[in-house]
């Protein structure tokens, strides 16, 4: 009887996959589609917290599905020299996937859009 238990145990050990094979899910490699570049998500008369909410909850609309890194809140003024009473707030970050710069989403009746800093005609400082 002991021999039979030993035989069943040995067969189970041989047939079972190695623990490291069970623990590792198959990696999904989406990889970068363009070189890393800066983007700023911003909107007039909207707070950084609302922009952050839009980036996290409206990823599909803003085409930010691949994720981003190095987020920095910024306050911006127009490049043309006119000073506005309230700066345009935004979030600057790195991104490395193809997306349409014209896409936007509406939050609190204000549009949030993400595009490279040089396409905003704004000068921005870290908050």
Is 2 contained in some domain? no
- How far, in Å, CA of 126 to CA of 73, rounded? 6
Is 31 contained in some domain? no
The pLDDT of residue 105 is above 90: yes
Give the chain's domain count: 1
The pLDDT of residue 75 is above 60: yes
Q: What is the pLDDT of residues 17-58, one digit of tens each?
A: 555 554 544 334 467 899 999 999 999 889 999 999 999 999
Three-state SS at 80 = coil
Range of the domain at 51: 37-126
- How far, in Å, CA of 100 to CA of 29, rounded? 22
Is 1 contained in some domain? no
């Amino acid at each position: 009887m002991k021999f039979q238990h030993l035989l069943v145990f040995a067969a189970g050990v041989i047939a079972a996959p190695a623990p490291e094979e069970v623990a590792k899910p198959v990696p999904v490699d989406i990889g970068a589609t363009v070189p890393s570049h800066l983007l700023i998500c911003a909107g007039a008369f909207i707070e950084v917290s609302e922009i952050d909410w839009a980036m996290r909850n409206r990823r599909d609309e803003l085409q930010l599905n691949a994720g981003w890194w190095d987020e920095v809140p910024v306050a911006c003024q127009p490049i043309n020299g006119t000073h506005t009473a309230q700066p345009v707030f935004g979030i600057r970050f790195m991104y490395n996937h193809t997306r349409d710069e014209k896409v936007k989403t509406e939050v609190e009746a204000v549009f949030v859009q993400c595009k490279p800093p040089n396409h905003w005609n704004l000068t921005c400082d870290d908050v």
